Amino acid sequence: MPNKPVYNEPLSTLLRRPHRGDEKQIMETLQWVARSSLLILFTFGIVKLIAGKFTETIIVLFGAIPILISIQYIKKGMVSRPSAILAVTTILLITYLATIGAGVYDVALIGYPVIMIVAGLILRGRVIPYMTGLIILCLGWLVFGDLLEYYDPDLPTTSSVVDLFYASAIILVASNAIYLLAKNIYDNLRRIQEEVEEREKAELAREELIRQLKLKNQELDRFAITVSHDLKTPLITIAGFLGFLERDALSGNKEQIGRSVTQINKAAQKMGTLVDEILDLSRVGRFTNPPTDVPFAKIVSEAVNRAEGLFKTQHVQLEIEREFPLVHVDEARMVQVLQNLLTNAVKFMGKQANPRIQIGCDQGHAEAVFFVKDNGMGISPQYHEQIFGLFSKLDTSTEGTGIGLGLVKRIIEVHGGRIWVESEIGKGSTFFFTLKNQNDKETSWLES
């Protein structure tokens, strides 16, 4: 099995650099070609003007127009359009130089394949067939223009149709080779870019995994410290009251024996509750029941029924919206989520004279957003993330172990959703959570 590449920080930094170096160099090259071509044209124009050839001067200067247009395109950050304009203009310029020079035998014609190579690489070979046709037309002009005496080459030798055939054949072979070369180069570049993107994704995934592992390790450290402390406290209580129980039994103090037994029972119950919640937390991500399509209204009804006694005791007014979507969840786990959110809302209602809790769903987004809203004491924004941690209790005097919201968060995440709170001190709290789209069902869950 081949070894997988090892990604380190320098590679990660390199992959995040913007891939614009080549584009910048191409833009600078195009600007240089455009300005050089413009300088050459103006130079010819001045020479023709000094020689008194006003018609040729106008023709030369007219050729500067497309170059000026291409310069404006380059300033706007375009590449393909100015490249095509400059390629065509340069071919026509080379043809003009050959016309006032040695015709089809002029050394300037060497520039034809050079222009095709440069333009083909910049434009990915797409314009090579059109450029080939234009060059053959220009060669035809040089040959037949000479034969028909439209211009007079510097060389005494007269062009022939055979010259056109040979020149055209050379251009066709060169253009085909240039096309294949450009295609091969860009295919390789595309593959390299795909590999870089895959490595970048792997690097990002690796860094995210490391970040998650660090968070999990920190959480496990806090978990171990808190569990050891919370389990040790009732054990110390039990041990202490057993000593009292032994003393009171010897002295026959039945009243004190009853108090000691009561305290021992409370400590044992607290320890049992903590152990049960830890076991429940360890099972998050495993099947309690296979996920099924369940009307969320059914989940709400079951959670409310379980907390009904608490609502009546605290005189809480409950408001439930009528319309809820169908969800694909472990029903028992989702009832547990909603029940925890409801009991948590009642627990932190404070001294609210008219306690009220609202259960609803906002379906106006890409995904349904469920919420449990109360008008209780509220939570300071600085604790909005902390409350979802394990054993996180903002008020240590309240009942419970601090596992509740941490458990809720993990159940929601196992279902492919997310949970958050919006709250301010004295303005109540609203817990929002989402679930994976009902259409995106999974056949299995991974343990978290």
**109-118, 197-206, 265-274 — most confident range:** 197-206
- Which pLDDT does position 359 carry in this prediction? 93
* Residue 322 pLDDT level (bands cut at 50, 70, 90): confident
Judged against a pLDDT cut of 80, whether residue 123 lies above it is answered with no
Torsional sign, CA 249, 252, 254, 256 = negative
Q: Residue range 125-152: average pLDDT? A: 85
Judged against a pLDDT cut of 70, whether residue 415 lies above it is answered with yes
- Which pLDDT does position 8 carry in this prediction? 43
pLDDT in tens, 16-50: 444 344 567 667 777 787 788 788 778 877 887 88
Judged against a pLDDT cut of 50, whether residue 383 lies above it is answered with yes
Burial, 206: exposed, middle or buried (Cβ in 10 Å; 0-12, 13-18, 19+)? Answer: middle
Q: Residue range 355-374: average pLDDT? A: 86
Judged against a pLDDT cut of 50, whether residue 13 lies above it is answered with no
- Which pLDDT does position 20 carry in this prediction? 40
Judged against a pLDDT cut of 80, whether residue 15 lies above it is answered with no
Q: Residue range 314-334: average pLDDT? A: 87
- Which pLDDT does position 433 carry in this prediction? 93
- Which pLDDT does position 441 carry in this prediction? 47
Share of the chain above pLDDT 70, in %: 78
Share of the chain above pLDDT 90, in %: 7
- Higher pLDDT residue, 58 or 438? 58
Q: Residue range 78-98: average pLDDT? A: 82
Judged against a pLDDT cut of 50, whether residue 424 lies above it is answered with yes
β-bridge partners, 431: 372, 421
pLDDT in tens, 268-298: 776 766 666 666 656 555 545 678 899 999 9
Find where tokens 């609210």 sit.
352
Q: From CA 367, how far away is CA 350, in angstroms rounded?
A: 33
* Residue 5 pLDDT level (bands cut at 50, 70, 90): very low
- State the average pLDDT for the chain: 77
Say if residues 434 and 411 touch (Cβ distance below 8 Å). no
Strand order in the sheet with 356-362: 317-320, 356-362, 369-374, 429-434, 419-423
- Which pLDDT does position 357 carry in this prediction? 92
Give the range among 93-97, 229-233, 355-359, 405-409 with minimum mean pLDDT: 229-233
- Higher pLDDT residue, 350 or 376? 376
Judged against a pLDDT cut of 70, whether residue 231 lies above it is answered with no
